Amino acid sequence: MGKPVTHFEILGKDGKRLQKFYADLFDWKVDTNNPMQYGMVDTGAKGINGGIAAAQQGSPGGVTFYVEVEDLGEYLRTAERLGGKTLMPPSEVPGGPALAIFADPEGNRIGLVKAGSM
């Protein structure tokens, strides 16, 4: 059985502007009530929810989706074997899930989230 996409993330230079844009465009509820002002998105519809925020310094921003897997390290090794590159090794987010990020052979950022950690 395939692995589910469980989260999306939209990052850019002006996180507040992006949060307002997508909230106004799609009528999404965006909650930034956290120290990082990471906008947790509730689409209010079927499908997955996500996040909108400013990209960290040095990050190109863009759109990332997260796939739920059992073993982050195993999937990073497989991605590298298939031509991908690890961008962020397995990491614990304070109060959040265990994550990792890799680039596919074309440079697209794909996130991994450890099953059961969300």
Ordered structural domains, the chain, with CATH: 5-114 (3.10.180.10)
What 3-state class would DSSP assign to 37?
coil
Confidence of residue 42 (pLDDT cuts 50, 70, 90): very high
Please state, rounded to an integer, the average pLDDT across all residues of the chain.
93
Confidence of residue 58 (pLDDT cuts 50, 70, 90): confident
Per the document, the length of the chain is 118
- For the entire predicted model, the pTM comes to 0.85
Q: How far apart are CA 67 and CA 106, in angstroms?
A: 18
